[in-house]
Amino acid sequence: MTDTRQRSFEDNDQKPMGFGRMLRKEDPRFVRGRGRYTDDVQLPGMLHLAILRSPFAHARIVSVDTSAAAALPEVKAVITGADLAGLGLAWMPTLSGDVQAVLATDKVRFQGQEVAFVVATDRYAARDALELIDVEYDVLDPVIDVRQALAEGAPLIRDDLDGKTDNHCFDWETGDADATAAVFAKADVVVSQDLVYPRVHPAPMETCGSVADFDPVEGRLKLWSTTQAPHAHRTLYAMVAGIPEHKIQVISPDLGGGFGNKVPIYPGYVCSIVGSIVTGKPVKWMEDRSENLISTGFARDYIMRGEIAATRDGKILAIRTNVLADHGAFNGTAAPVKYPAGFFGVFTGSYDIEAAYCSMTAVYTNKAPGGVAYACSFRITEAVYLVERIVDCLAYELDMDPAALRLKNFIQPDQFPYMSKTGWEYDSGDYEPTMRLAMELAGYDELRKEQAEKRTRGELMGIGISFFTEAVGAGPRKHMDILGLGMADGCELRVHPTGKAVVRLSVQTQGQGHETTFAQIIAEEIGIAPADIDVVHGDTDNTPFGLGTYGSRSTPVSGAAAALVARKVRDKARLIASSMLEVSVADLEWEKGSFHVKGDPGTAVTIQDIAMRAHGAGDLPDGLEGGLEAQICYNPSNLTYPHGAYICVVDVDPGTAVVKVRRFIAVDDCGTRINPMIIEGQVHGGLTDGVGMALMEMISFDEDGNCLGASLMDYLIPTALEVPDWETGFTVTPSPHHPIGAKGVGESATVGSPPAIVNAVVDALKPYGVRHADMPLTPSRVWDAMRGTAQPP
């Protein structure tokens, strides 16, 4: 692995007083098997819940007979949709303003939908009892394809919605249709391409689950659950269940990955709460792998037509797209309210163009709900795929090198802040050095020579480029809210008398190393060693309110909150130091961890001395309260816009059409880097995800709506065997509005890598005249592309 342009702090030892490489504080817990996940929670008298799911994609429920199940001695409760309807709990709001059935009452709308649940003394008895529930279904025609869903006379899926007569979910547009049409009309070259981003699943290692413990005497609910957004979930539970918010504690313990899968509120969580209220006991629900794959939030599922207009010499003028978005049976996305298509609006990418336009139609189908931001900032993955694929199609038509085409069209450094043609203000960027570094690390010119030589021998080698700009850190609260909850984040910092500290965050790690990096941010600002700073998160009773972790928003929003709360503490420390050293505040100088008198470094007090004085005997400056702590709620002024240049090298076996990713070079720019080791880990994981999406993963359905990706035997996810040794590098373009200049990075690689891989495979197939092939590029799809027998999307 190659890493260049290391800043000096990155050469520090493993215990930097601030930013730099540092082993993860949480790892001693994890490597010893001492992580505590939701399924590890054991409470006295705890019962177990299992969910009966629909075998059909679309069917009316005629009757549900639970008597045989309820008669089993181990069974403590059997609950149906009708029972929930009696409590007013059969439907719940989704985080995108739709409603979703907790348990089906009228009909089932996707295979795997929740129909009833059993609470029993152990999880095996609960599962066995499901077999005894007799449901009579009246099977209806399923609607699986989005175009079929829009066709005249298509069966109506959402007849639960008043006045609904078709399967439209929403329409959305951005950009300027007329201006874009005018630019297209004058262009020398117009290229259009149909593209499919298939339905994939985040598939975290830990599936979803919860343990609900309702105390009927106090009226208090304690809920351990696999959630990426404990505070937002608590507010929703309060609104739906009518339990006062201050009596609900949501604990999100260690999470075995989230990737967007653990943002929505799932019926299972609500069922466990109902189960506990009904039985008066704690109730655990933990789904199995197939349940996770068939019923929890899927991602993508966009059919896109991309169009690009350019001059003959390769100046990109405009980009236009039309999207059919499959949202499944309920709109279960969790995107800011004003952004029903998430941040797809950044589909103009990293290029300075004259005009852009997107129109989108979102549709209900008889498939699981979702459209979650799987390791991306609300549909940015789809946007980046569209633009980076269509730019390559243009390069193909112009017979131009794809790197040269990109370099010719980048937004220039002096254009930042850059207002895109769809209204996104890119905060900072310097694209060419990033691209050039990737090309240098890859040995781009040499690779092209090698490719040319191999082509003469009939060998299929491909080189694919993707250059992406993301918009991460949702978001300014005036623009962004989820169900009315503004997307700001709280942070509290308390320094104890002995100079150790605890920082409480509203974001929640799912494995990204927050316990380390947030301690590093505080350390950087107030000079207390990361080892002496505890990071508390994932517990609504013990952390300030905030909207949680997804869309790489932790560093842009909560990271800023952490830096600013530390500065508040430092400001107070400065006042105390001035009284301790008997000099004016203006005569003090801060050196990480201590204040000294200007020009006299020997006359100093450390942050630990100050902490003791703040809590101890002796006078404090007039009007200053004791203690050394602060809190903040940070409302970002803008998103941050990280970028990156990825180059992928593949070999395709002409006899079997098997794709091998031989090399992958990833140069990321996420502004100031807090912990380069953690960043590399995030990039490695995201690139591996990218290989999965580009080459292996797809949730598909047969014509009856049976999900064909319901186990990891069918839904293939990549392992170390399918991926190369990642080669990483970086550039640093700080965010001008973030207090430490950091941008998010957690999802950059998942976003940026699929187009690089697809571009590489298509490039390998150039001798066959292939301009495009749809993901996942399995051997059979590559074979079809080579033979010209691929089916249109």
- In whole angstroms, how close is the CB of 351 to ligand CDP at the nearest point? 24
Look up residue 600 and give its two tokens. 């006299």
Q: Which is nearer to ligand CDP, 111 or 554 (CB)?
A: 554
The whole-angstrom distance between residue 86's C-alpha and the CA centroid of its chain comes to 36
Judged by CB, which is closer to ligand CDP: 180, or 672? Answer: 672
Q: Report, in Å, the least distance between residue 297 CB and ligand CDP.
A: 16
**C-alpha angle 561-562-566 in degrees, rounded to nearest 5:** 115
Give, in degrees to the nearest 5, the angle at Cα 789 between 788 and 792.
105
- CB of residue 743 to ligand CDP, shortest distance in Å: 6
Q: Please spell the DSSP secondary structure of 505-557, one letter per residue.
A: ESS--SSS-HHHHHHHHHHHHH---GGGEEEE-SBTTTS--B--S-TT-IIII
Structural element, H or E, at residue 442: helix 431-442
**List of residues 6+ apart from 694 with CB closer than 8 A:** 753, 754, 757, 758, 761, 775, 776, 777
Q: Which is nearer to ligand CDP, 252 or 517 (CB)?
A: 517
Nearest-CB residue to ligand CDP? 746
Closest CA to 185 of 66, 318, 75: 318
The DSSP call for residue 351 is B
How far apart, in whole angstroms, are the C-alpha atoms of residue 349 and residue 412?
13
C-alpha 203/C-alpha 289 separation (Å) is: 8
Which residue, 522 or 597, is less far from ligand CDP as judged by CB? 522
Select 293 or 678, whichever has its Cβ closest to ligand CDP: 678
**Which residues, at least 6 apart from 511, have a Cβ–Cβ distance to it below 8 Å?**
255, 256, 257, 258
> Can you tell me which residue has the tokens 């130091």?
577
- Per DSSP (E only), the strands in 201-350 are 209-215, 220-225, 248-251, 283-286, 299-310, 316-326
CA distance 302 to 324: 6
CA-nearest of 478, 361, 366, 471 to 420 is: 471
Closest to ligand CDP by CB, 23 vs 790, is 23
CB-wise, 474 or 647, nearer to ligand CDP? 474
Q: Give least dist CB 280 to ligand CDP, A.
A: 38
When the beta carbons of 422 and 549 are compared against ligand CDP, the nearer one is: 549
Q: Measured on CA atoms in the order 366, 370, 374, 380, is the torsion positive or negative?
A: positive
Q: How far is the CB of 186 from ligand CDP (least distance, A)?
A: 41
Query: Could you list the residues that contact ligand CDP (CB under 6 A)?
Result: 512-514, 517, 549, 552-555, 670-675, 678-679, 682, 742-746
- Whole-number minimum distance, CB 536 to ligand CDP, in Å? 15
71: Cβ–Cβ under 8 A, 6 or more apart, which residues?
none
Dihedral, CA of residue 145, residue 147, residue 149 and residue 153, to nearest 10:
-130
Output the smallest distance, CB 553 to ligand CDP, in A: 5
Least distance in angstroms from the C-beta of 723 to ligand CDP: 20
Task: Specify the residue, 169 or 674, whose C-beta has the smaller distance to ligand CDP.
Answer: 674
Q: How far is the CB of 548 from ligand CDP (least distance, A)?
A: 9
Answer yes or no: are the C-beta atoms of 709 and 637 closer than 8 Å: no
> Least separation, in Å, of the C-beta of 7 and ligand CDP?
12
Pick 262 or 553: Cβ nearer ligand CDP: 553
